[in-house]
Structure 1
Amino acid sequence: MSDGHRGAGLATLGLLAVTAIWGSTFALIKGVVGRMPVADFLAVRFAIAAIAMVLLFALPLRRLGRASLLRGLALGVLYGLAQWLQTEGLARTSPSVSGFVTGMYVVITPILSLLIFRQRMPWTTWLAVLLATLGLGVLALSGFSVDAGVLLTLASAALYALHIVGLGHWSKPGDAFGMSAIQMVGIAAVCLLITLPHGGPTLPPDAAAWISVLYMALVAGAFAMLVQTWAQAHMPATRAAIVMTTEPVFAAGFAVLLGVDVLTPRMLGGGALVLAAMYMVELAPRFRRRKPAEALHHEV
C-alpha cells in the first residue's frame, strides 16, 4: 500500500472515530440541556475546549502564519454559527427532521466544491451522495414539512458544508494542531457572544452535568476538531462529508445499546444505505486506473 493510500485510510478511520464520538453524545446533550440553557451549554463547552487547546498547542499556534490564523478563525466562526443555527432549528422542529436536514451538508458540500474551487466529482461520488441522502431519510423521516425550524437547520447545514470545504482546502498535515486550536477559539467566541444579551453563560448546575460538559468539551470538542482537521488534510471535502454521514448510524447504534431505542428495519435499512455510500467513496477510487478528479487536493 502506498503512503498516500495509507494516509487516506488512516484519515477515514480517524473521521469515523470522530463521528462515533459525536454519535455517543446525543443522550448526554439531551440530559444537560434539560437543566441549563442551550446557548450557555454551548458557550461553556467550547470555552473549555478553546482554553485547553490554546494551552496545549500554544507553540503550533504561534507558528501559524497570519493567513492561516485568519482562515482558521473564519472556519471556527462558520462552525460556531452552524452550531447555533442548528440548535435554534432543533428548538422549532423534531430531532429526526433536524438530523436529516443537518445531514444535507452531504449534498451541499460537492456543490460548493464545484462552485468555489471548480472540483469536479466522478459519477460514483454523486451516486454515493444520493445513497447517503436516501439513507439519512430512511433513518430519520416519518413526516416532513418546511417550517422556520427546517429553514434554520438547512442554513446550518450550508455552513457545515462550507466549513468542510474550507477545511479540506486550507488544512495541511503539519498545521493540524494550530489550525484546530484557532478554530476552537472562533467557535467559543461565537457561542459566548450569543449569551451576552442574557448576561453571559451560566455554569452547569451539578457534578453530573459538569462531567457531561467536560466530555463534550475535551473529547467531542477539542479532540474531535483536532482529528477532523488532520483527516481533512488527507482527503477531499466531499469524501469527508460522506464519511461523516455515519454519525446518525452511530447515534442509532448507541441508542439501541443503551436501551433508549429498539432496533428497527428502518435503522438497518438506512444504516446500510449510508454505509454503502461510504464504501463507494472509499473503494471505488482504488478500482480506477486513473486518479479521480476528486482526489486532487489543492493547497494554498
Structure 2
Amino acid sequence: MIIELKKSVLFADASLLLIAFIWGATFVLVQNAIAFLEPFSFNGVRFSIAAILLGSWLLVFERKQLKHFNKKLIISGIIIGIFLFIGYAFQTLGLLFTSSSKAGFITGLSVVLVPLFSFFLLKIKPGRNAIIGVSIATCGLYLLTMTDSVSLNIGDGYVFICAIGFAMHIILTGKYSSKFPSLLLTVVQILTVAVLSIVFAYLTEDWKQAVRPEVILQGKVLSALIITSVFATALAFFAQTSFQKYTTPTRVALIFATEPVFAAGTAYIWAHERLSYSAIIGCILIFAGMIFAELPRKKKKLSMKEEHNEAV
C-alpha cells in the first residue's frame, strides 16, 4: 500500500513538472499573441475555448460526474477560479508598470507564500527539506529573473497580489481536489476565469478585437490560442486538479517554480534570447531546491499513518 502511494506521489510530481514545462514553453507564444490581442481579451477567448472543450468531454464521456454537481462544488470551483483570475489579472496589470524580470521574480515568490499560507490556513507544517528547498529555489529565482534595478514601484505591488492569487489557487486546489470530481471542478474554475476575463476585457479593453477574424485568425494569435487553450489551460489545469491530491501544496509550488526556467530555455531556443551566467546558476538552484525537497528524510521507524503523512 505504501509503495503504491509513493508511486502515485512520484507520478503526480512528474505530471505537475510537465505542466510547468508547458506553461514555460508557451510563454513566448503568449507574448507574441498579446501584441495583436489585448491580455484580458486573449485570456477570455483562451479560457472560454478550454471551458467548452472540458465541458464537452464532461457531457459526452463523464456525464456520471454530473450527479455530484451541487452548490458546494460550484462555490468551491468559483473560489478557486477567482484566485486563478487574480493571478493572471494582477500579473498583467503589474507588467504595465514594472519589468518582466521583476514580475517573474515576484510571481515566483508564491513558492514562499504557499508553505506560509498552508501553515496558517490549513495547519500543514512544511518539513525541514521543504523549507531548505524553498530557500534554495527562491535564491535561484532571484538570480534567474532579477536585473540590476531593485527599486520598487506600484507595478511590483500588483504583481505581489498576483503571487498571492497563484499561491491561494495552489492551496485551495489541494484542499478541494480530493472532495469533488476533478473534471467537474476544473470546468467550474476555468469557466469562472473565462467569465471574469471577458467582463474585464469589456470594461478595460477594445474587446471587439476578439471577434474580428483578421485578428483572431492572425497566425501568431491563432496558434497561441489553440496551443494554450488545449495544452496550457484545459489539460494543464485538469491535470493539476487531478494530481494535486497526491502531494502537498509546498511541493506543488516548488515544482511550479521551474516554469521560469523552462520559459528561459524555450526563449533561448526559439527567440534566441541569451542567458547570463547568473541566470544559468539560478536555473540550477531552482532545480536543486526542488530535488532537495524531494529527498527522503532520515527518520526513525514510523507507523503506517506517519509514513502516509510523510509520503503526501
Partner residue in 2 for 1:22: 23
Q: Where in structure 2 are there 5+ consecutive unaligned residues? A: none
Q: Match for residue 206 of structure 1?
A: 217
The structural deviation recorded for 1:47 is 1.0
The reply to whether residue 274 of structure 1 matches residue 286 of structure 2 is yes
| 1:85 paired residue among 81, 87, 90 | 90
Contact residue 246 and residue 274 of structure 1 kept, 8 A? yes
Q: CA deviation at 1:78?
A: 1.2
Aligned equivalents of 2:143, 2:112: Cα separation in 1: 16
One-letter code aligned to 1:125: A
**Higher mean C-alpha deviation, range 258-267 or range 22-31:** 258-267
8 Å contact from structure 1 (residues 235, 295) kept in 2:
no
- Equivalent in the alignment of 1:283: 295
1:22-54 deviation per Cα after TM superposition (whole angstroms, max 9, x unaligned): 011121111111112111111111111111111
The answer on whether the counterparts of 1:173 and 1:233 sit within 8 Å (CA) in structure 2 is no
Give 1:228's aligned amino acid: Q
SS of equivalent residue, structure 2 residue 229: helix
Aligned pairs (5 A) from 1:113-152: 113-142=118-147, 143-152=149-158
Highest Rg: 1 or 2? 2
In 1, Cα distance between equivalents of 2:208 and 2:7: 44
Q: Give 1:174 shift.
A: 7.1
Shift in alpha-carbon separation, 1:182–1:296, aligned structure 2, 3 A: farther
Match of 2:273 in 1: 261
Q: Relative to structure 1, is the Cα distance of residues 27 and 261 closer, same or farther in structure 2, using a 3 angstrom cutoff?
A: same
Matches within 5 A, 1:2-17: 2-17=3-18
Structure 1 residues 205, 185: CA separation in 2 closer, same or farther (over 3 Å shift)?
closer
User: Matched residue pairs, number?
Assistant: 296
Structure 1 residues 225-269: Cα deviation after superposition (integer angstroms, max 9, x where no partner): 011111211101011001110001111111222252224322321
Cα distance between partner residues in 1 of 2:179 and 2:122: 20
How well do the aligned residues superpose, as a CA RMSD in angstroms?
2.0
Normalising by structure 2, we get a TM-score of 0.89
CA distances 1:78-129 after superposition (whole Å, capped 9, x unpaired):
1012111111111211110000000010111011111111111122211111
Q: Tell me which residue corresponds to 1:44.
A: 45
8 A Cα contact 2:104 2:260, kept in partner: yes
Q: Does 1:158 find its partner at 2:168? A: no
Q: Does 1:63 align with 2:67?
A: yes
Q: Distance in 2 between matches of 1:167 and 1:273?
A: 27
Q: Hey, what's the Cα distance between the residues in 2 that align with 1:72 and 1:51?
A: 16
User: Aligned in 2, Cα 1:124/1:293: closer, same or farther, shift over 3 Å?
Assistant: farther
* Structure 2 counterpart of 1:246, from 234, 244, 258: 258
Deviations 1:152-202 (A, max 9, x none): 000010011111111111112972211111111111111111122257453
User: After the TM superposition, which residues 213-232 of structure 1 pair with which residues of structure 2 at under 5 Å, given as runs?
Assistant: 213-232=225-244
Matched, 1:108 2:113: yes
Amino acid at match of 2:68: L
Q: Which amino acid aligns with 1:186?
A: T
Using the aligned pairs only, state the percent identity.
25
2:235 is equivalent to residue 235 of structure 1: no
Structure 1, unaligned stretches of length 5 or more? none
Larger deviation: 59-68 or 126-135?
59-68
Per the alignment, in what secondary structure is the counterpart of residue 251 of structure 2?
Answer: helix
Give the Cα separation in 2 of the matches to 1:265 and 1:293.
41
What corresponds to 2:202 in structure 1? 196
| Aligned-partner Cα distance in 2 for 1:13–1:173 | 22
Give the CA deviation at 1:145.
1.7
TM superposition score normalised by structure 1: 0.92
